[in-house]
Amino acid sequence: MNNWKNVLIQPETTIIQVMKLIDETSMQFAAVVDDEMYLLGTVTDGDIRRGILRGLSLDSSIKEVMNATPICESDGKSTNYYEQRLKKAKLKQLPIVSGDKKLLNILFSDNLEFVDKKQNKVVLMAGGLGTRLRPLTDTLPKPMLNVGNKPILETIIEGFKNHGFTNFVISVNYKKELIMDYFQDGTHLGVNIEYIEETKRLGTAGALSLLENKPNEPFFVMNGDLLTKVNFEQLLDFHIETASCATMCVREHQYQIPYGVIETNNHQLLSIVEKPIHKSYVNAGIYVLDPIILDTIPVDKFYDMPELYKELMDKQKIVSAFPLREYWLDIGRIADYEKANWDYKEGIYD
């Protein structure tokens, strides 16, 4: 690539500055170098999100989260060698350095012919009753409500398609014919769509027991009433990099206690904090799962994602959290639906 130098940064560059760089470039990657072009480390979106989970400030320097021992190759080898190195190690980028570790080039797999089309399945949960959105859902299933000029579910499918994911399974129940008649096999959207039909409520994990064609690679599960601008390719990369069997997207939620909170020691008053703000991570309804976890899910039984994750954690499996920093909205109530359409109108989400 001729523009690989666009992703070079200094070690004192702030995390927020690198986030903007990664989001603005198509390479989703940055290389940390000093003034003499010595390679000090590399940064991916996953490195940044792990730093956020550790509580690092966005004003912290990028050296706090960079990978200081990245995989790289020395110069002077054949193009075919580098291509095979990328392919076998499943790397998306490969820094090329001199014998004394000066950065000479960065090769990106997206620009090489061997890159395969993404086959990962996307399971969308669209069978809920949407009771909190009545009367809007008296005649339409919630995922078919329009935000802007198209159903929520179509916007979700387009979001995945924009990142190369085209194989979908939609779990349907309530007013399923409206969803199936609209999307059919997905041909008109340039994707492949299959359906699983719940005859009773099975929950966000229990419905996966109905999958006839089991995935052979990590797959996505997402609630069909969410709007988000998350980069699904970055999410999948994070899942693979952390060697997780299950990854849950999480969203920071803030709430303020409307009173002064006190700390005491017996009768003695130690401190007063006026209306403190508490921060917690909450489940965002987007998951990546390895096929092996399907063996954990009971057949024909209500089983929600939190139950699945708890069971995996009890078994000491590697389960990860992926913090969302992009637009995200759960359309669960009338006020949320109104906000979604307002955001669309204002260009915040389109």
CB-based burial of residue 286 (10 Å sphere; 0-12 exposed, 13-18 middle, 19+ buried)? buried
CB-based burial of residue 181 (10 Å sphere; 0-12 exposed, 13-18 middle, 19+ buried)? exposed
pLDDT in tens, 13-69: 999 999 888 888 767 789 999 999 999 999 988 889 888 888 888 999 999 999 999
The overall pTM is greater than 0.75: no
Tell me what the pLDDT averaged over the chain comes to.
86
Distance between CA 44 and CA 70 in Å, rounded? 11
Instruction: Give yes or no for residue 293 having a pLDDT over 70.
Output: yes
Per-residue pLDDT, 157: 93
Q: Give the mean model confidence (pLDDT) for residues 327-345.
A: 84
pLDDT in tens, 238-255: 999 899 999 999 988 777
Instruction: Please give the C-alpha separations between residue 250 and each of 283, 285, 312, 328, in angstroms, as whole numbers.
Output: 5, 8, 17, 10
Q: Give the mean model confidence (pLDDT) for residues 186-210.
A: 89
pLDDT in tens, 134-171: 887 788 888 888 888 889 999 999 889 888 899 999 99
Strand partners, 330: 226
Q: Which CATH number fits domain 121-345: 3.10.310.30, 3.90.550.10, 3.40.309.10, 1.10.760.10?
A: 3.90.550.10
Per-residue pLDDT, 137: 77
Q: Tell me what percent of the residues of the chain surpass a pLDDT of 90.
A: 34
In sequence order, what are the residues at sequence separation of 6 or more whose Cβ sits closer than 8 angstroms to the Cβ of residue 291?
Answer: 214, 215, 216, 217, 218, 219
Q: Give the pLDDT band of residue 116 (cuts 50, 70, 90).
A: very low
4-111: CATH topology is: CBS-domain (3.10.580)
Strand partners, 227: 329
Instruction: Give yes or no for residue 113 having a pLDDT over 70.
Output: no
Distance between CA 66 and CA 63 in Å, rounded? 5
Q: Which of 34-43, 76-85, 300-309 has the lowest mean pLDDT?
A: 76-85
Per-residue pLDDT, 169: 95
Q: Give the mean model confidence (pLDDT) for residues 335-346.
A: 82
Identify which of 226, 183, 240, 221 has the alpha carbon closest to the alpha carbon of residue 305.
Answer: 221
Instruction: Give yes or no for residue 295 having a pLDDT over 80.
Output: yes
Domain locations in the chain?
4-111, 121-345
3-state secondary structure the chain: CCCHHHHEECCCCEHHHHHHHHHHCCCCEEEEECCCCEEEEEEEHHHHHHHHHCCCCCCCEHHHCCECCCCCEECCCCHHHHHHHHHHHCCCEEEEECCCCEEEEEEEHHHCCCCCCCCCEEEEECCCCCHHHCCHHHCCCHHHCEECCEEHHHHHHHHHHCCCCCEEEEEECCCHHHHHHHHCCCHHHCCEEEEEECCCCCHHHHHHHHCCCCCCCCEEEEECCEEECCCHHHHHHHHHHCCCCEEEEEEEEEEECCCEEEEEECCEEEEEEECCEEEEEEEEEEEEECHHHHHHCCCCCCCCHHHHHHHHHHCCCCEEEEECCCCEEECCCHHHHHHHHHHHHCCCCC
Instruction: Give yes or no for residue 87 having a pLDDT over 50.
Output: yes
Q: Give the pLDDT band of residue 117 (cuts 50, 70, 90).
A: low
Per-residue pLDDT, 259: 79
Q: Which of 20-34, 137-151, 264-278, 297-311 has the lowest mean pLDDT?
A: 264-278
